[in-house]
Each structure stands twice: as C-alpha cells, then as structure tokens.
C-alpha cells in the first residue's frame, strides 16, 4: 500500500522559475507606481487624492500577490489535521483496518456488528480509521437502498450525560434533515433518549454510534457512575430492549488504556466490546504517512531532509501523526513567511521550537477560568512539592484547587470535573496522566505529571487572570501543598 515514489524528482534548476521577484527585495522601486513612502516626491497625481493611504493599499495587495505565487504549497488542505483523506493515503494501520472492517462487515449482510473499543495514544489514527470504514459502509448501503446511520460525536466538549444525548439527537437531525424536536434544556434525559430512538427508528435501518474521546465524558455528580458508563449502557442495550428497532452497535474511542476499569458492571456486560489497539507510530511509519501527503507541496519545494526530520521529531513525541502533520505544515508556513522557495531542515527545526513555545501559551489563553484555576492548582503542586517526584496525585491537586477557589471566592467544580479538566490537557501533551491504585480498597486516583516546566505554566496563567492574588501568597501556597502531600502519602 505504501511504496510511493517521490514524483519524478528531476532536479530542475531554480532559474526555470518565472514566478515573481523575490519578495524580500520588494522595496526596490522598479515599476512606475512604486517609490512608495516618499510623500515629498510629488508624483504625476492623476487620481491620487490621498497618496499615502493609496500607496499602503497597493503594497498590501502586492504582498498578498507575491505570497500567493511563491507558496511552497499547492494543496495545503492535505496537511490540515482535520481534512478527511483518501483511503490510499492511509498507511501503517493494516491490522486495525482489517479488524474494524471485519467487525463491521455483518452490517452489510443484515446482521448486527459487535461493539468496539478503539484505544491507543493520541494521533494514532483511531478517528481516521473508524471514519474511513464507516464512510465506505454508508456508500455500500446506499447503493443497496439500506439506510446506515453513523452517529458520531466527540465527547471532549460535553459535560453531562444529558448534553451527550442531546448532541446525539442533533447529529442525527442534521444527517437526516429532521427537526431536533426537543429543547436543549428543561426536559428529562429520558425524553431525549426517546426522541433519539424515535429519529433513528424513523430514518435508519441500522446505526453505529461513534463516541470519540469517550473517557472525557465524566459527568457532574461526584461518587456516581460516570456519565460515559451510563451512556454506554443505554446505547448498547437499546436494541435488546427494542427501543431501537434496527441493528445497533457502539464504537467507543479513547486514549486511555485503562478506560474499561471505571465502567459499571452492567454497562461492561452490555457494551462488551471487541478491542482494537492503536499503537504509536514509529519514525518509519510517520515518514510514510508524510510521504503520502508530499503532494501538499510544490514538486520541487521539499528538501529531502524535511520528511525524515519531521518524522523524527514526531516519533519523539510519542509517534503522534497529528503532531507530524502539524509540524510538516508549520515548516511550510514558515518557508512561505520568509519567502523561501523551498522547505528545508532549518524551517522544520524552527517550527518545532515555535510549536513547543506556543503550544502551552496558546492553549492557556483559550482556557476558561475554571480550567485555568484547575491547571494552576495542579502546576503549583508539581512546582512547590518538596518531594523528589513532582507528580501530582489528583486528590491533592483537587484539595489545592478547592483552596484556590476559596481564596478567590470562585465557583467550585466537583472532583470529577477537576480531573476531567486536567486530563483534557493531556490531549495537548502538556501533562501525562496515569491511573494509580492506593491498594487495599483505598480506591483509584489519577496522577498527573507535567511534560514541561510547571513554573512556566503557572506564570503563563497568572499573566492573564485574577490568579495574581494567589501568586502573591507563594509561601502560604507552598505550605498548603506540602502539608496536603504529606497527608496524602501518610494515609
Ligand atoms: N495511518 C495513517 N495514515 C495517514 N494519516 C494518518 C494516519 N494516522 C493518523 N493520520 C492523520 O493524523 C491525524 C490524527 O489522526 P486521528 O485519527 O485523529 O488520531 P486519533 O483519533 O487516534 O487521535 C489525522 O490528521 C489523520 O488523518
Ligand atoms: Mg481522535
């Protein structure tokens, strides 16, 4: 599937280039209407009422034109992470494709496919593979006059079970062009389920629910069965109870390898999935993935070192294909910004540096206040801990979070929500999470470890919120944290 060739790399000399003068030198007045920015020089003013404004306008357009022509890209979409790519561009996932295809094949024979759990680290192709296979099934079903519904939601922005059911209704309604038929709030979740089933029964012969990032659907109530467990239970038994008349299967996607551990027993037995594991990509596979998208760039615009280097960087960050594609695109953008005609190693290196620097900053800027506080409290524990390991047990992080919200007189979320918020950051690679057991019925907790410097993270958050008031109490915060840590570890 993979062995592509690098598109007839006849090394055409750079002087065949007739596109445009190098735009870094555009100050040179070569045309009659150049010579901008020299107001004294009275030019033959025909319609020039406002020479300075007019000349600015021209130069913007010139710059835009130049960039358009000189771009290293010919199809930049191909290196956008959310572009749905053709099947031929998928590499290195043969086993997973085969499993998913074989699990879903019964749909085409009028049978019910099993439920599935697709799990593995971020950027390993889970969403891609399930999307590619279900898309083909939709098309095959259509040609036979069967109505196969793919109801795909991402749970990351969803907070409650009720919202998740509403989101499912919305997805179906959009797909089939029906009314949503229930208000978002003010009616019971039960009624929403009924509307969902009703829409499905009316419009589909069989359905698959795709619940992406399912582990992030925690729900609000503490000490309760997590929302994802309830949702899995409901959806996977809906066909047994005849609430859904057609064939139903559920595919859950997660980065969390221990996802099934927190699932309620009855949900586990009704969901009972077939597992498909998505391991990290190695540098060779990443090279192939990128190689299959090299036509995003002009034929002669990629130095031969670029793909191996991008792949090597991404292999270091856990073989995440999304990161590889982002870096590939970033290097191209940087070359364009500089007006360079070719993407080279230095663009990759600099772009990677930028990504490292920007990622946490950008991310932090976009967070809600509650998420900032959660992150701040967690980073503070890592930063002020006197212990040799600076990982943060979630119960301690949460206590510190509560302390901070008290000090600020801010709203206080439940522990589950706090954990969800911090876990979300792991999808951006800012923290890594591990599930820990306290042993002998002591329960489970999460442990957070920052990949970068927690102090830098704290500074960033303080830069842009009212958390300054907390930052001023550094000594107190340090004391609170270390006494909490001590209590935790003595228990
Ligand atoms: N095997 C592959 N071949 C080609 N592109 C891939 C492959 N795996 C992942 N990608 C690309 O990498 C990005 C992340 O993949 P995605 O499926 O969203 O990962 P996950 O859902 O596991 O986090 C997407 O842009 C996807 O197209
Ligand atoms: Mg995904």
Residues 370 and 375: their CA atoms lie apart, in Å, by 9
Six-digit token string for 339: 């007006």
Residue entry with tokens 């594991």: 277
**Which DSSP string do the residues of 336-363 spell out, in sequence order?**
HHHT-SSB-HHHHHHHHHHHHHHHHHHH
CA angle at residue 65 from 59 to 66, to 5 degrees?
A: 90
CATH 1.10.8.60 intervals, the chain: 281-356
Q: Which atom of ligand 1 is nearest to the CA of 92?
A: 1
Q: Which atom of ligand 1 is nearest to the CA of 285?
A: 1
**CA-CA distances (angstroms) from residue 98 to 93, 122, 128?**
8, 20, 14
| Three-state SS at 490 | helix
Q: Is the CB of 319 under 6 A from ligand 1?
A: no
Q: Cβ atoms within 10 A of the Cβ of 61, count?
A: 10
CB 34: neighbour CB atoms within 10 A? 16
Which residues neighbour 252 within 8 Å (Cβ) at sequence distance 6 or greater?
A: 115, 116, 117, 118, 211, 214, 228, 232, 259, 271, 273
3-state secondary structure of 222: coil
Ligand nearest to the CA of 320: 1
Tell me what pLDDT residue 204 has. Answer: 96
CA 245/CA 328 separation, integer angstroms: 46
Q: Whose CA is nearest to atom 3 of ligand 1?
A: 90
> Which class would CATH give 281-356?
mainly alpha
Query: Cα separation of 360 and 169, whole Å?
Result: 34
pLDDT of residue 466: 76
Q: How far is the CA of 385 from the centre of ligand 1 (A)?
A: 37
Residue 183, pLDDT score: 97
- What is the pLDDT tens value at each position of the chain, 491 positions in all? 443 443 333 433 333 333 443 333 333 333 334 334 334 444 444 444 444 545 556 677 776 666 555 799 999 999 998 888 888 999 999 999 999 999 999 999 999 999 999 999 999 999 999 999 999 999 999 999 999 999 999 998 898 999 999 999 999 999 999 999 999 999 999 999 999 999 999 999 999 999 999 998 988 765 678 899 999 999 999 988 889 999 999 999 999 888 898 899 999 999 999 999 999 999 999 999 999 999 999 999 999 999 999 999 999 878 899 999 999 999 999 999 999 999 999 999 999 988 877 666 677 777 888 999 999 999 999 999 998 778 999 999 999 999 999 998 889 999 999 999 999 887 777 888 888 887 766 678 899 998 878 888 888 888 766 788 888 899 999 999 999 999 998 87
Distance 128 CA to ligand 1 centre (A): 5
> How is domain 366-490 classified at the CATH fold level?
Arc Repressor Mutant, subunit A (1.10.10)
Structure token digits, residue 424: 């979300």
CATH 3.40.50.300 residue spans of the chain: 93-277
**To test the ligand 1 pocket, which listed residue (76, 92, 93, 123) has its Cβ within 8 A of the most ligand atoms?**
123
Distance from Cα 405 to the centre of ligand 1, integer Å: 38
How far is ligand 2, taken at its centre, from the CA of residue 212, in Å? 6
- What is the residue with the minimal CA distance to atom 8 of ligand 1? 125
Question: What is the pLDDT at residue 46?
Answer: 44
Instruction: Give yes or no for residue 85 CB within 6 A of ligand 1.
Output: yes
Q: Any bridge partners for residue 434, and if so which?
A: 447
Distance CA 166, CA 394 (A): 30
Q: What does the pLDDT read at residue 221? A: 63
Residue 36 pLDDT: 40
User: How crowded is residue 184: how many other Cβ atoms within 10 Å of its Cβ?
Assistant: 13
327 C-alpha to ligand 2 centroid (Å): 18
For ligand 2, a single-atom ion, the residues with CB < 5 A are 127
Q: Is the CB of 317 under 6 A from ligand 1?
A: no
Residue 165 exposure: Cα atoms within 13 Å on the Cβ side:
29
DSSP state of 145: T
Task: Identify any residues that bridge with 251 across adjacent strands, giving them in sequence order.
Answer: 116, 210
For residues 345 and 303, give the distance between their C-alpha atoms in angstroms, rounded to a whole number: 7
Ligand 1 pocket test, pick from 87, 90, 126, 128 with the greatest ligand atom count within 8 Å of Cβ, gives 128
The rounded Å distance from CA 227 to ligand 2 centre is: 19
CATH superfamily of the 93-277 domain = P-loop containing nucleotide triphosphate hydrolases (3.40.50.300)
- pTM value surpassing 0.75: no
Residue 180: count of CB within 10 angstroms of its CB: 15
Protein residue with its CA nearest to atom 24 in ligand 1: 81
What pLDDT is attached to residue 56?
A: 56
**Taking a C-beta distance cutoff of 8 angstroms, is the pair 466, 408 a contact?**
yes
Q: Is the dihedral of CA 433, 437, 438, 442 positive or negative?
A: positive
90 CB under 6 A from ligand 1?
yes
Whole-number Å distance between alpha carbons of 293 and 73: 11
> What is the predicted pLDDT for the residue at 49?
45
Strand (E) or helix (H) holding 448: strand 444-450
Count, residues in the chain: 491
**Which residues lie below 8 Å from residue 443, measured CB to CB, with a gap of 6+?**
437
For ligand 1, say whether the CB of 480 is within 6 Å of any of its atoms. no
Q: Which of 172, 166, 212, 203 is nearest to 186 (CA)?
A: 166
Q: Cα(62) to centroid of ligand 1, in Å?
A: 37
């Amino acid at each position: 599937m993979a062995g592509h060739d690098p598109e007839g790399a006849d090394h055409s000399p750079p002087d065949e280039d007739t596109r445009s003068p190098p735009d870094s030198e555009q100050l040179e007045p070569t045309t009659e209407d150049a010579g901008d920015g020299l107001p004294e020089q009275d030019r033959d003013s025909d319609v020039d009422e406002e020479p300075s404004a007019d000349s600015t306008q021209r130069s913007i357009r010139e710059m835009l034109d130049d960039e358009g022509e000189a771009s290293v890209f010919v199809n930049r979409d191909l290196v956008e992470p959310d572009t749905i790519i053709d099947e031929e561009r998928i590499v290195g996932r043969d086993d997973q494709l085969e499993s998913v295809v074989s699990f879903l094949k019964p749909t085409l024979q009028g049978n019910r496919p099993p439920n599935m759990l697709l799990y593995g680290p971020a950027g390993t192709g889970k969403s891609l593979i399930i999307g590619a296979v279900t898309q083909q099934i939709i098309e095959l079903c259509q040609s036979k006059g069967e109505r196969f519904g793919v109801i795909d939601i991402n749970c990351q922005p969803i907070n409650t079970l009720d919202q998740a059911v509403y989101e499912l209704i919305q997805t179906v309604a959009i797909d089939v062009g029906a009314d949503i038929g229930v208000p978002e709030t003010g009616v019971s979740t039960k009624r929403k389920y009924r509307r969902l089933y009703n829409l499905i029964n009316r419009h589909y012969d069989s359905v698959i629910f795709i619940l992406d990032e399912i582990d992030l659907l925690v729900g609000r109530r503490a000490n309760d069965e997590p929302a994802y467990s309830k949702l899995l239970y409901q959806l996977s038994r809906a066909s047994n109870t005849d609430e859904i008349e057609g064939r139903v299967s559920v595919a859950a996607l997660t980065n969390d390898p221990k996802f099934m551990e927190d699932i309620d027993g009855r949900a586990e037995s009704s969901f009972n999935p077939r597992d498909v594991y998505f391991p990290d990509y190695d540098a060779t596979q990443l090279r192939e993935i990128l190689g299959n998208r090299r036509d995003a760039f002009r034929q002669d615009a990629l130095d031969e070192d670029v793909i191996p280097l991008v792949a090597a960087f991404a292999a270091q960050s856990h073989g995440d294909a999304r990161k590889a594609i982002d870096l590939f695109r970033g290097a191209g953008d940087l070359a364009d910004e500089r007006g360079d005609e070719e993407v080279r190693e230095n663009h990759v290196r600099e772009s990677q540096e930028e990504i490292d620097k920007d990622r946490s900053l950008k991310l932090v800027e976009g967070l809600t206040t509650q998420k900032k506080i959660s992150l701040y409290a967690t980073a503070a524990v890592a930063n002020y801990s006197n212990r040799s390991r600076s990982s943060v047990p979630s119960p301690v992080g949460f206590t510190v979070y509560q302390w901070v919200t008290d000090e600020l007189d801010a709203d206080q979320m439940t522990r589950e929500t706090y954990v969800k918020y911090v876990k979300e950051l792991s999808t951006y690679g800012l923290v890594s999470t591990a599930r820990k057991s306290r042993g002998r019925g002591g329960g489970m907790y999460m442990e957070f470890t920052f990949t970068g410097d927690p102090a830098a993270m704290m500074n960033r958050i303080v830069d842009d919120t009212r958390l300054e008031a907390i930052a001023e109490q550094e000594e107190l915060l340090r004391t609170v944290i270390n006494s909490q840590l001590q209590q935790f570890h003595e228990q």
